[in-house]
Structure 1
Amino acid sequence: MRPLRCVPEPVRLAWTAPRGLVGLSLVNFILRVLTLGIYHFWGKTEVRRRIWSAIRVNGEPLAYTGTGLELFLGFLLAFAAVALPAILLSFGAVLVFGPGSPWLLAFQFVVYAAFFFLFGVAIHRARRYRLARTRWRGIRGGLEGSSWRYGWIHFWSGLLILLTLGWIVPWRSTKLQSLISNGMRFGDRPFRFSASSAPLYPRFAVLWIAGLFILLAASTVMVSATAFIFPAGDFHADRPPDIARMTVLLALIYATLLAGGVVYGVFSAWYRAGMLNHFAAHTAFEGATFKGSATAVSLTWLTLSNYLLVLLTLGILAPLAQARSARYLIERIALVGNVPLAEIAQREEDALGRGEGLAQVFDVDAF
């Protein structure tokens, strides 16, 4: 007799606004100050629990089971194994080689390169920890694959950004996303990612050309403003600078940089929205595919408003910005198709006794 198979069902993602995030942000800030930053790990854990529980899948919330102690122990281990030796070796190199020595510069280059490599490792390990501590209906997520391989690809492709004038970026983003998405699991079922970087290049070309024009326009404006406010021959070494004209010039320079940054940010949001939608369309889970509906306008507003929210509150309301980002993703991504949810079995427990140590040392991301 054949076993009965469950009927696949649609998967609906929804967001329910978490309560008390403003109050929690204030409490976390006060306790971080009182504990000289140690409470940061417990505060971050509580923020994650609130945000995770606000995400509903078919009406049931996600659960975050990580602990502040795991994050704290992970940070201590990573600091003792990576950051502290690097600091001590750097001081030792200064004493041995002397300031300005070519050997000191070579040593510092090796240290920075190692940190850049470990930064990529930290991204992968942090994602794996968060997925392993995520539950839905008691079933946990996971991330397979090598953090070292991810870190290596992140490292060498990052070095090529400058050498290729940025043109490797679409390929790099797609490759790194592939390593994450193809390694993701929910229970015993894998996600599948099949996106190519080719469709991203037309948008990236527009972004690249726009960036070049913005750079040239901003440079022209600043040079012209300098020549107009301080004509040739108007500089005298024996006179103090004209404070009024210098103030006007600096104001014009900052205004030009701000305007250029905003315009470039809009083009960047347009590119990132296309990338998000492209990646979503080529991500599948048990026969169902994702669909993204991000737009340049909405992503620009989210980025700008979150930046101002964090800046104007000196980072105190950063959890509110994190929740707004999570809400944006949940409301802009849908799962098209049916999934046999009742057939999904529990996966083996990941051996993660400590959480995100490298990520905390490098401050990889907000979540």
Structure 2
Amino acid sequence: MSDLNKTQRSLTFYGEGSKLFGITIINAILTVVTVGFYYPWAKVAKLHYLYSEFEFEGSRFEFHGKGKEVFKGFLKLIAFIVIFYGVLIGLPLITQNVAVIIISVLAVYTLMIFIIPLALHGSARYRLSRTSWRGIHFGYRGDRKELVTLFVKGFLLTLVTFGIYASWLSISLRKYIIGNIRFGNITFSYKGDGGEFLWLNFTNYFLSIITLGIYFPWYMKNLTNYYIENITLHQDGKKIKLKSSITGGGYFVLFLGNALIVLFTLGFGTAWATIRTLRYFASNVTVVGDLDTESIQQTEEDYKNATGDDLADFFEIDLI
């Protein structure tokens, strides 16, 4: 059956730049006044607003995270940063022993290889467990050790292949993380291929270079569509696909508009740029297939450890 003959449902995003700007300003003031310690509550306030502005089938999404949950992770993140920069900056000031410095720095960077998958795991588990729609929670059932092993092996193969294996590592991580996402009794899977992904990046990167960057929005369109359209939802033996109608021209207009807004407002228009981006994505992603929203059952438990979520922010790691 073609997609045209299948049931199609779309997301709607109702966010407003003025409201997000107000939240951002208040968050910034309180974060400065508290010397950064308000950051966890600022983060939660922003997520509460953005999640609640997404609507599907007449119902809004909700984010249930709390500032105190994120604050605990925030304190652990600060401890990690102190140790990290203490070794990189402080150690050379304490000792002149080159061997000790080199070994310590290598140890810190080796630790980071393990920290990144832990951040991915923790962020996915916390963020998804605190997200719901119609009272049904999302969840993540990945195993910490499995993800760390997958990442470390992939990272080492990326090193010995001078970066070539990075495409396979990226796809493997997406398959693992998305494959362990649950929404009630709905499961997810990701069908991507490292070879395809490598070729997509190589050809689009090359075209972006020879066109002096003009092709870049089309590169981002192809990349985004590859991410989205390889995701499948599974419900009672039925497959539900995600379809993207994002275009290169649409991306170009979005990028250009956002750049001009941020530039001519000296950064104050970032809230409006964010809203434009989220609205564009929401209006161009469609759920295709026989999704029975009435038979979704609650299966996931709350998970309140936000340490991984903060680490993911620190490393600027996307969830999926």
For residues 172-231 of structure 1, the C-alpha deviation after alignment (integer angstroms, 9 at most, x for no partner) is: 3222211121111101221122222343344323235447x66xxxxxxxxxxxxxxxxx
Aligned to 2:12: 14
Select which of 274, 284, 307 maps to 2:222: 274
Superposition deviation, residue 299 in structure 1: 3.0
| SS at 1:131 equivalent | helix
Amino acid at match of 1:114: L
Superposition deviation, residue 291 in structure 1: 0.6
TM-score of the superposition, structure 2-length normalised? 0.81
Amino acid at match of 1:131: L
Query: 1:143-154 counterparts in 2 under 5 A?
Result: 143-154=140-151
Superposition deviation, residue 13 in structure 1: 1.6
Select which of 282, 306, 315 maps to 1:330: 282
Aligned to 1:254: none
Query: 1:233-244 counterparts in 2 under 5 A?
Result: none
Query: 1:246-257 counterparts in 2 under 5 A?
Result: none
Aligned to 1:252: none
| SS at 2:35 equivalent | coil
For residues 291-318 of structure 1, the C-alpha deviation after alignment (integer angstroms, 9 at most, x for no partner) is: 1122333334444554665677676655
**Alignment CA distance shift 1:29-1:142 (3 Å):** same
1:190 partnered with 2:191: no
Aligned to 2:101: 104
| SS at 2:102 equivalent | helix
**Alignment CA distance shift 1:162-1:307 (3 Å):** farther
Contact persistence 2:167–2:194 (CA under 8 A): yes
Take 2:7 and 2:220, find their aligned partners in 1: how far apart are those partners? 31
Take 1:296 and 1:311, find their aligned partners in 2: how far apart are those partners? 22
Amino acid at match of 2:96: G
Superposition deviation, residue 353 in structure 1: 3.8
Aligned to 1:137: 134
Contact persistence 2:54–2:61 (CA under 8 A): yes
Take 1:192 and 1:98, find their aligned partners in 2: how far apart are those partners? 52
Amino acid at match of 1:17: G
Select which of 246, 262, 270 maps to 1:294: 246
Count of aligned pairs:
309
Superposition deviation, residue 89 in structure 1: 4.8
Amino acid at match of 2:82: L
Take 1:93 and 1:187, find their aligned partners in 2: how far apart are those partners? 49
Query: 1:61-76 counterparts in 2 under 5 A?
Result: 61-76=60-75
| SS at 1:324 equivalent | helix
Take 1:165 and 1:305, find their aligned partners in 2: how far apart are those partners? 37
For residues 24-82 of structure 1, the C-alpha deviation after alignment (integer angstroms, 9 at most, x for no partner) is: 222222122111112222111111111111111101110111011111111113433x3
My pick for the range that moved more, 273-282 or 69-78, is: 273-282
Aligned to 1:26: 25
| SS at 1:66 equivalent | coil
Aligned to 2:3: none
**Alignment CA distance shift 1:84-1:354 (3 Å):** same
For residues 256-275 of structure 1, the C-alpha deviation after alignment (integer angstroms, 9 at most, x for no partner) is: xxxx9xx34x4444333223
> Structure 1 stretches of 5 or more lacking a match?
1-7, 215-259
Take 1:151 and 1:308, find their aligned partners in 2: how far apart are those partners? 41
Greater Rg, structure 1 or structure 2?
A: 1
**Alignment CA distance shift 1:95-1:31 (3 Å):** closer
Take 2:151 and 2:261, find their aligned partners in 1: how far apart are those partners? 30
Aligned to 1:341: 293
Superposition deviation, residue 289 in structure 1: 0.7
Take 2:261 and 2:36, find their aligned partners in 1: how far apart are those partners? 21
Superposition deviation, residue 329 in structure 1: 2.4
My pick for the range that moved more, 319-328 or 18-27, is: 319-328
TM-score of the superposition, structure 1-length normalised? 0.72
Aligned to 1:206: 203
Take 1:307 and 1:167, find their aligned partners in 2: how far apart are those partners? 32
Contact persistence 1:79–1:361 (CA under 8 A): no
Superposition deviation, residue 141 in structure 1: 0.3
**Alignment CA distance shift 1:143-1:305 (3 Å):** farther
Contact persistence 1:182–1:191 (CA under 8 A): yes
Take 2:113 and 2:27, find their aligned partners in 1: how far apart are those partners? 30
Aligned to 1:179: 176
Take 1:180 and 1:310, find their aligned partners in 2: how far apart are those partners? 33
Amino acid at match of 2:57: N
| SS at 1:191 equivalent | strand
Aligned to 2:311: 358
Amino acid at match of 1:347: T
My pick for the range that moved more, 328-337 or 86-95, is: 86-95
